[in-house]
Amino acid sequence: MVKVYTSSVIDTPASEVWARIRDFNGLPGWVPAVAESRIEMQQPADKVGCIRNFTLKDGGRLREQLLALSDYDFSVTYSILESPMGVTNYIATLKLTPITDGNRTFAEWTAEFDCAPGREAELARTIGQGVFQGGFDSLKRRGG
Amino acid sequence: MIRVAKSTIIDAPVDTVWAILRDFNGHESWHPAVSASRIEGRRTADQVGCVRDFHLAAGGALREQLLSLSDRDRTLSYCILDAPIPLRDYVATVRLRPVTDGDRTFWSWDSRFNVPAGREAELTQLVGEGIYEAGFAAVKGLLGKAIAARSRATGTVTVTRPQPRPAGETMRCNAIVIDAYGGAEQLRWRAVAVPPPGPGEVRLRHTAIGVNFIDIYCRTGYFDLLTPPGVLGMEAAGVVLDVGDGVRELSPGDRVAYACPPVGAYSELRNINARLLIPLPRDVGDQQAAAILLKGMSAEFLLHRVHEVHDGQTILVHAAAGGVGQLLCQWARSLGATVIGTVGSREKARIAREAGCVHPIVYQEEDFAARVRELTNGHGVDVVYDAVGRDTFAKSFEVLKTCGHLVSFGQASGPIPPIDIAGYASKSATVSRPNFGHYTDTPEKVRAISDNLFRNIRNGALRVMVDRLVPLREAAEAHRALEGRLTAGSIVLKPD
C-alpha cells in the first residue's frame, strides 16, 4: 500500500476554498490538467456515491466516486474506479482546516493505493507533486 | 460548552516544532505566561497520566494532566485539574501537521470547557489569546532565534566557511575585462584589485557565473550598462567573504546569488550592494543558481507579471529551445497553457518538446505564421514571447488573436524596425517591452520573484539544464557558443 501526503497553505479563508472544492463536478475550474467533467446518471454533485467522469487535457479519462463529503469538516473522500494511471484500491481525502492566525487555509491531500511493484515512487511523485501540489498551486493562484 | 480553536503556521520543520511541544514540562522555557513547572511524583514528562504543576507569571498555580501523547500523529491532549480561574471540564488538544509545500508546520490548539454564566467572552479571550496565541508567538520567536543562531554558527552544508578577514585589506584576483566594445576577442583575462567592501556592500568569492545574451549586448555596446574598461556579467552565485559597514543581514560564509546590474560578475571576486543579493536555499546548488536565476526570474515576470498566463491560454514562444525559451515552455505548461514554439532545427524541436512545447515549428522548414494559424484554427494566440526581434516581430503580430499581447524582450536577430502603432488597432493588440531592471529594482520584488522561482524548481515544474561548464578564463568561448546558437541550456563559467 502506497501512501501519499501533500499539504500546503492557501492565503484565502477556508470557507472560500471549500466553496470551490466541494463541487465534485468542478475540477475543470481549478485543476489545470482537467479538460472537462460530468457527473454520471444525472445525479447531483453532492450526492454521496455519485461518480464523476472527467477527461484530462492529455486525453486520459478517469472515473471517481464520492465516498464522503463533510461541510462540517471541510473534507471530501473519493475513490478511483477507472484511470490510466495503473492504480488499484485508490482512496484519497482532501481536507481543509482554517488557520485562525491570518484567516488562511491549511490544506491536506492524502491518498492510499496499490500499484505494480517498482512503480511506487514514480506514482507517489506524480500524484503527490503533480496532481496534489499542482491543485494547491492552482488554488493559490486563484485565491481559492 | 465553549470551544476555542486557534491555529497557525510555524516556519520550521514539523519535527523541530514537535521536539519543543512534546515536552509536557517544557512550557516554562517558552510560554511567557508560565514561570516554573515541575512534573509531580517520579514520573517523566512523556508518561501519559503525568501531572504538571506550574505557576503563572501573573501569579496563581495550576495542575494539568497529560491525557494522551502520540509521536506518530504529533498530538497531545491534557486537562486542567486545579486552576485559579473557573475553567471547568477543560480538555485541550495540541496537534501538528507537516506542510509539505515549504517544509513548515501547521499547529492547531483546540479546547472545550465550561465557564460560569456571564464570563464566556472574557475567558474565551484569555484562553485563545493569552494562552494559545501568546504560545504561538513565543515558539515562533524561539525558533526564529535558533535558526538565526544556527546559520551564523555553522553556515551551510555545502560550503566550507572561510576565515573572516580583517576589514580594510585589498584583495587581488583575476577577471575577464573588456577595454573596448566589440567581438568575443575583446574578452581578456587579467589581474584586478578588489578593495574592501564599502558601506552596505559585501565582498563575494564567486563559485559559478551565469552567461546570458545580455552580456553580449553589453560587450558590443548595444546596451550601455558597461563603459569600457570594465567587467561583464550580471548573474552569479558565491560566498560572502566580508561585509561593509551597515550590513546586518549577511555574514561571511553565507551562500548567495544575484541576477541584476551593475555588471561585474565575470570575476573571481567582486563587491556588491548587499540589498541585491538573494540567500540561496540549501536545496539549490551554486551552478544551478548561476544557470537559472536571471533566465528563471525573467520567465517569472514574463509569465506572471507582464502577462498573466493561465490555464486554457495558447502562447507562442520564439527560440523555444533557448535558455529562457525552455523555461517559458516548462513553466507555461505547468500553468496549464498550450505552448507553440519556434526553433532553428529538428534537434532543437526535440529539446523544446521535452520542455513542454507541444507544437515546435522549425522555422526554416515552414512558415511559422501559417502553421500557428492552422494550429489555432485561424484564431491566433493569446500571447507571443519574442526575443528574436527583427526576423520575427512582424509575423508575431500577425499570429496574435484579437486583444492579443506581443511581448518583445530581446532582439537576437537584430534591431527591430520602427512599428506602426496605429496598425495595432486592427487587433486591439497590446505590445510590451519589459525591462528586467524595472521588475527587479527593489529587494521585495526580487524576493517575491526568486521565491516563486525556487518553489517551482523544488516542485519539479522547472528543470535546470546546464549545457556546458566553461572555465572563467575561457569566457570568450562561451560567448562564441551562445552567439553561434550552439547551446541548448545554460552556460556556466567556473572560476578556478
Going across the sheet that includes B171-178, the strands are B188-194, B171-178, B230-231
What is the structure's pLDDT at A124?
A: 95
Cβ-in-10-Å burial (0-12, 13-18, 19+) of A20 comes to: middle
pLDDT digits (tens, 9 = 90+) for A14-52: 999 999 999 999 999 998 889 999 999 888 898 889 999
Range of the domain at A101: 2-141
H helices of B31-176, in order, are: 120-125, 134-154
> pLDDT band at residue B98, thresholds of 50, 70 and 90?
very high
Residue A98: enclosing H or E segment and its boundaries? strand A87-99
Nearest to B393 by CA among B346, B349, B357, B431: B431
Q: State whether A98 and B459 contact (CB < 8 Å).
A: no
Note whether A133 contacts B101, CB cutoff 8 Å: yes
Q: Show the cell assigned to B211.
A: 552567461
Tell me which chain A residue has its CA closest to the CA of residue B134. Answer: A101
Name which of A33, A97, A128 is nearest B108 (Cβ-Cβ): A97
Q: Which residues from A are below 8 Å from B when comparing CB atoms? A: 5-9, 32-33, 57, 97-102, 104, 106, 108, 125, 128-130, 133-134, 136-138, 141
**CB of B51 closer than 8 Å to CB of B39:** yes
B417-433 tens-digit pLDDT: 888 889 899 999 999 99
- pTM, 2 dp: 0.52
Closest-CA distance of chain B to residue A94, Å: 14
Q: How far is A6 from chain B (nearest CA, A)?
A: 6
Q: Which of A108-112, B42-46, B323-327 has the lowest mean pLDDT?
A: B42-46
Question: Which helix (H) or strand (E) segment is B289 a member of?
Answer: helix B286-301
CA dihedral B448, B452, B457, B459 (to 10 degrees): 140
Three-class DSSP category at B367 = coil
Question: Nearest CB to A101: which of B7, B98, B336?
Answer: B7
- Parts of chain A with a pLDDT under 70: 144
Q: Which of A99, A125, A134 sits opposite B7 (nearest CB)?
A: A99
Going through B374-434 in order, the beta strands assigned E by DSSP cover: 381-386, 400-408, 430-432
Residues in chain B: 496
Kindly indicate the confidence band of residue B145, based on its pLDDT and cuts at 50, 70 and 90.
low
Q: Which residue of A has its CA nearest to B136?
A: A101
Q: Is there a contact between B387 and B412 (Cβ–Cβ < 8 Å)?
A: yes
B104-132 average pLDDT score: 94
- How much is the ipTM here? 0.79
Distance (Å) from the C-alpha of residue A50 to the closest C-alpha of chain B?
27
A71 within 8 A of A22, measured Cβ to Cβ:
yes
CA B425 to chain centre: 38
In terms of Cβ atoms closer than 10 Å to its own Cβ (0-12, 13-18, 19+), residue B334 is: buried
Find the CATH number of the domain harbouring A31: 3.30.530.20
Are the Cβ atoms of B7 and A136 closer than 8 angstroms?
no
Residue with cell string 500546503: A8
Instruction: Find the closest chain A residue to B456 by CA distance.
Output: A137
- For residue B459, the chain A residues in CB contact (below 8 A) are 129, 133, 137
Q: How do strand B381-386 and strand B400-408 relate by DSSP bridges?
A: parallel
For residue B147, the model assigns a pLDDT of 56
Tell me which chain A residues have a C-beta less than 8 angstroms from the C-beta of B8.
99-102
- To the nearest whole Å, the CA of B302 is away from the closest chain A CA by 16
> Any idea of the CA torsion for A8, A9, A10, A12, to the nearest 10 degrees?
150
CA dihedral B206, B212, B218, B223 (to 10 degrees): -130
Task: Provide the domain count of chain A.
Answer: 1
Residues of B within 8 A of A99 (CB-CB) are 7-9, 106
Please report, rounded to a whole number, the percentage of residues in chain B having pLDDT higher than 70.
95
Q: What is the pLDDT of residue B168?
A: 64
Phi-psi sector, B168: left (phi>0), alpha (psi -120 to 50), beta: left
For residue A8, the Cα-to-chain-centroid distance in whole angstroms is 13
Nearest-CA distance B7 → chain A (Å)? 5
Q: Least CA distance to A11: which residue of chain B?
A: B9
Residue of A7, A20, A56 to mutate for B, most B C-beta atoms under 10 A: A7
| Higher pLDDT, residue A63 or B414 | A63
Domains of chain B: 2-154 (3.30.530.20), 171-294+484-494 (3.90.180.10), 311-433 (3.40.50.720)
pLDDT in tens, B389-411: 999 999 999 999 999 999 999 88
In B, minimum Cα distance to A137 occurs at B335
Q: Chain B residue with minimal CA distance to A102? A: B8
Q: Where are the beta strands (DSSP E) in B115-264?
A: 171-178, 188-194, 201-211, 230-231, 235-243, 255-259
> Under a CB-based contact definition with an 8 Å cutoff, are residues B223 and B260 in contact?
no
Q: What is the pLDDT of residue B3?
A: 95
Q: What type of residue is A4? A: V
B99–A106 CB contact, under 8 Å:
yes
Give the SS3 label for residue B489.
coil
Q: What is the pLDDT of residue B124?
A: 95
pLDDT digits (tens, 9 = 90+) for B158-205: 333 344 444 568 999 999 999 999 999 999 999 999 999 999 999 999
DSSP A7-63: EEEESS-HHHHHHHHT-TT-GGGT-TTEEEEEEGGG--TTSTT-EEEEEETTS-EEE
B455-464 confidence digits (pLDDT tens): 898 888 898 8
CA distance B470 to B476: 10
How far apart CA A97 and CA B190 sit, in angstroms, is 60
SS3 B83: coil
Cis check: omega of the bond before A44, within 30 degrees of 0: no
